[in-house]
Structure 1
Amino acid sequence: MRAPLGDFGTAAPATDRLDVLTGPVADALRHWTGSVPAERIVHVDTEPEWADTAVFVEHYGRELLERSANCVVVAGKRGGVTTLAACVVLSTTRVDVNGVVRRRLDARKASFAAMDTAVRETGMEYGGITPIGLPAGWPVLVDPAVVDLPYVLVGSGRRRGKLLVPGEALAGLPGAVVLPGLGIA
């Protein structure tokens, strides 16, 4: 199979690569109910030491920068209660944590979740967190620019490998809210 974008040596439907995905991601694909068929989600094999966006595009192609998205875990706090959420924005932007996210979570304070919290709560590796397979009940805030892409490159749950996902599939994830203004320059 040829990847729908980028130049990767190994590409296959993610549903055929469940053995290389973390448990939460594999389970989400096994029980997929989205309007986009799970078979359209593609797994590409990549080197773990090149997982971070800047290094990744140097090795796999600068054109991927405009078609890559970051999934970050944020923590909103109000009155001693912490709400965790995922934010998915293009790699060329940053998450508006103190504006859009804080208001959406009705939080007094919002910040990026600590690495150990993000890893523990998602069951994924830091640097590979993906919006597919997040804990039930989590808000998944997605910037419209991500949804508009025919395919977007996101983490696979591990530092080794990435997923190529139709943007519209991310809008259909459980808990997903397409949120204008989430990604800012």
Structure 2
Amino acid sequence: MDKEKEFEEAVTKVLELLGEDPKREGLIKTPNRVAKALKFLTEGYHQDPEEILNQALFSTSNDEMVLVRDIEFYSMCEHHMLPIIGRCHVAYIPDGKVVGLSKIPRIVNVYARRLQIQEQMTEQIADAILGTIKPKGVAVVVHARHMCMEMRGVQKINSTTVSSALRGPSNF
């Protein structure tokens, strides 16, 4: 049995455990849709951030900060598999190399599209940029809403979590 079919059967079982009828009209295609959605939402496991960044590295004499801000992302918390929705800001100070601007949001997606915690994702983005571009410094700030905190548990709607990762000189 292939993985997609096995996944669909697992979703069917979950629907049954919830007391639903997986054969009712609105749910017939749900197992397939959930399997496809989760495959897409976790595609970051199958992407190499170093390969993405190395596709667009350019020499530069610029040594001033480059900032890509308001990069929208969504992820899923690894504890409840509920959405995390936020924005990421990435800044770095070049040291002879810059990267194509579109590669920064792609790196955010690589790490966001995994089961994740925000703090770890923030550090992974910073470390990938530091390790590949080798800038003088990098800063990543993420602010996000966590549905595991809004839809269940404490139920605090619109609360935001902010995390940061700073790499490089202390004056960055």
Q: TM-score, normalised by structure 1?
A: 0.23
Higher helix share: 2
User: Which has more radius of gyration?
Assistant: 2
